Structure 1
Amino acid sequence: MHILSMVVYSIACLLGVTGNGLVIWIAGFKMKKTVNSIWFLNLAIADFIFTFFLPLSIVYTALGFHWPFGKLLCKLNSTIAFLNMFASVFLLTVISIDRCISVAFPVWSHNHRSPELAARIALGTWVLALLLSSPYLIFRDTVVNSRNVTSCYNNFALSDDYTSEATRRLWRMRHKVVIITRFLCGFLIPFMVILICYSVVAVKLKRRQLANSAKPYRIIIAVTVSFFLCYFPYHVFSLLEISKNSSSHEMKLALYIGIPLVSSLAFFNSCINPILYVFVGPDFKEKFRQSILSTFEGAFSEESVLGSLTSRRKSRSASEVEVPRV
């Protein structure tokens, strides 16, 4: 499991740093500032920061879970991992709300939707993600055992006394609160919002018979589905870890084997988005032949859906004007 984890971490680090770095360079410096480019730029920044710190986890695993980097980096490493998770799912939720508003109210969206507003909303998602990941700045700690091996772990009781019942009770209570909050705010509630928004989008597009307008949504849906598939097993095992049966021998064995696997899968999500931008973006084959820049412009395109919706709404409004009789 440890070797497999290191292999996955290394692949995620290599692909994540290069792929997300390319997205940041293109979306941040080479493309016109649009609402969509701001959304995907922030997604890439979250993934880039996380994968940039992955070598610390690789070294930690390679050294047999000995942490030589000090307490501050122990705290930062875990905080950045969960900052990435919260920022990613919040940005995906904001994107789904933005798309729902664009389809439900296309004319209003065309008049009020701006890159400046998107930048302020993106900043708000980062602040909220930082607040929810801040407990790891508090609880993450280091300890040296009798073999002079330093571990980086969650000290939920903020105490070195593990013998008293009061300390163990406080540890279990805080552990449950952190995991349940992470599951609700970082997975369940955002995905309920995402499912509702895309259900509204699907109904509106079907009612207006705008099949071609659904193409720009493929990349957003692909990114959302990949996040769900990568993080759902991780949250399941986190909930199993605080369940009543977690102390049984079978459950301990399942957690010992499963947690490294699902953690590796969750980490791998940070390098998959740039691949999806290229292979799922509209008109990939033609635009990829032209240049990498045009590939990302196609993936982040928003004019086609907004233009078709707005023009259809305006044409329908014009047709409804009563012609005076002669």
Structure 2
Amino acid sequence: MESSTYTLVPSDVPSPQWDIAEEDSEHYEILPNELETALRFLSIGIYSIAFLLGTTGNGLVIWICGFRMKRTVNTVWFLNLAIADFIFTFFLPLSIIYTALDFDWPFGTLLCKLNSTLAILNLFASVFLLTVISADRCVSVVRPVWSQNHRTPRLASIVSLFVWLTAFFLCTPYLAFRDTIRDDEQNVTHCYNNYAFSTNVEDMGVIAIRSLRHQIIISVRFLFGFLLPFGLILVFYSLMALKLRRSHLAWSSRPFRVMATVVVVFFVCWFPYHILSVLEVVIHYLDDKSLKATVLIGSPLATSLAFFNSCLNPFLYVFLGRDFKESLRRSILSAFESAFSEEAAKTNDSHGKSRSLSAQESQFS
């Protein structure tokens, strides 16, 4: 019967960014043709939407923050976030074509390395920027006088540069390990992770090196791309909440709403990806076919969700910005500007704290 037809799928080659298991033959998984095809077309659809919305939305944010608005700490943060997302979504057509060609990579080894590296660069740069933005907001609330005297666009630009350098350093292994391999039997070229710099699948030494490097890559990505940043952001928000409660002050609703939503959406979108990445290491040590099938099926879905995050921020800025409906009536430009502006929020305190309040609540959106 057609429904019982299965195909062998090498578990680490479905996409330039999926890292599921390793390239040796013992890690090949069996998927129904219908399910494999459905996952492939779903990925193509999500990638295409992310490309169209991401390049357009983030391009608009870059234009507004970089050329239309006064340079502030807020615009520096959001400009860099938009640049990270724009670069990644701009190269998404490579992944779309690769997936549409049933995972036949026609672009050569250099673009194979670059495409995967940009995906991880986007991950690290975005999460580091969100952590820095949270720290900036925390300092403004907890140490308002210091923040008022030292919080400058120049300092924000220097911090952003450091973020980019750190993110690039952490994604350089992908430039080294990503490679292409020709499968003459199927007449296709795969873009995959060659952690051992070898195609030998029988030598135990090569297998051990490949497994060790794979574990290190996943561990570093999970630790620095998710666990530590998320923990720091929770600490920053806890400190802010404690300070505001002690001072009997209220959150500035617009800046907090925009910032908190961007952070939450980012981690919701990337959490499944990181969990599947950890499971991809675990399945090397467990002979559990159901777990392997779960990882193989879940990975394209988790990857698609992570990629889709790159097109969401511009829409969050607009819909959560100040006076969205009124701004939208005037223009999209003013809607973005209201989201990025640094406003002095209203105070619910009548005890002569005007200087402190102004400094504490003059936050980024």
TM-score category, normalised to shorter length: over 0.9
What's the TM-score once normalised by structure 1's chain length?
0.93
Q: What letter is aligned with 2:293?
A: L
Q: Deviations along 1:8-50, whole A, 9 cap, x unmatched? A: 0000000000000000000110001000110000000000000
The number of equivalent residue pairs is: 316
- How has the CA–CA distance of structure 1 residues 50 and 315 changed in structure 2, closer, same or farther, with 3 Å as cutoff? closer
In structure 2, the partner of 1:112 is 150
Alignment of 1:122-271 (within 5 A): 122-146=160-184, 147-211=186-250, 213-244=252-283, 246-271=286-311
Read off the aligned partner of 1:209 and give its amino acid letter. Answer: H
Which AA in structure 1 matches 2:168? Answer: L
TM-score (norm 2): 0.83
Q: Which residue of 2 aligns with 1:90?
A: 128
Q: How well do the aligned residues superpose, as a CA RMSD in angstroms?
A: 1.9
The structure carrying a bigger helix percent of its residues is 1
Task: Please tell me whether the aligned partners of residues 145 and 356 of structure 2 are also in contact (alpha carbons under 8 angstroms).
Answer: no
The sequence identity of aligned pairs, in percent, is 58
Which amino acid in structure 2 is aligned with residue 267 of structure 1?
Answer: F
Partner SS state of residue 46, structure 1: helix
Residue of structure 2 equivalent to 1:320: none
- Of 212-221 and 78-87, more deviation after overlay is shown by 212-221
Deviation at 1:285, TM superposition (A): 1.4
2:66 counterpart residue number: 28
Match of 1:324 in 2: none
Q: Distance in 2 between matches of 1:181 and 1:316?
A: 40
Instruction: Describe how 1:13-92 pairs up with structure 2 within 5 A.
Output: 13-92=51-130
Q: Which runs of 4+ in 1 moved over 3 A?
A: 244-247, 305-309, 311-317
Deviation (angstroms), 1:210: 2.7
Structure 2 CA distance for aligned equivalents of residues 307 and 72 of structure 1: 55
**Paired residues of 2:244 and 2:251 also in contact (CA < 8 A):** no
Query: What SS does structure 2 have at the residue aligned with 1:134?
Result: helix
Q: Unpaired segments of 5 or more residues in structure 2?
A: 1-38, 358-365
1:71–1:142 contact (8 Å) kept in structure 2: yes
Classify 1:308/1:53 alpha carbon distance in 2 versus 1 (closer, same or farther; 3 Å). farther
More strand by share: 2
User: Contact (CA 8 Å) 2:134, 2:233: kept in 1 or not?
Assistant: yes
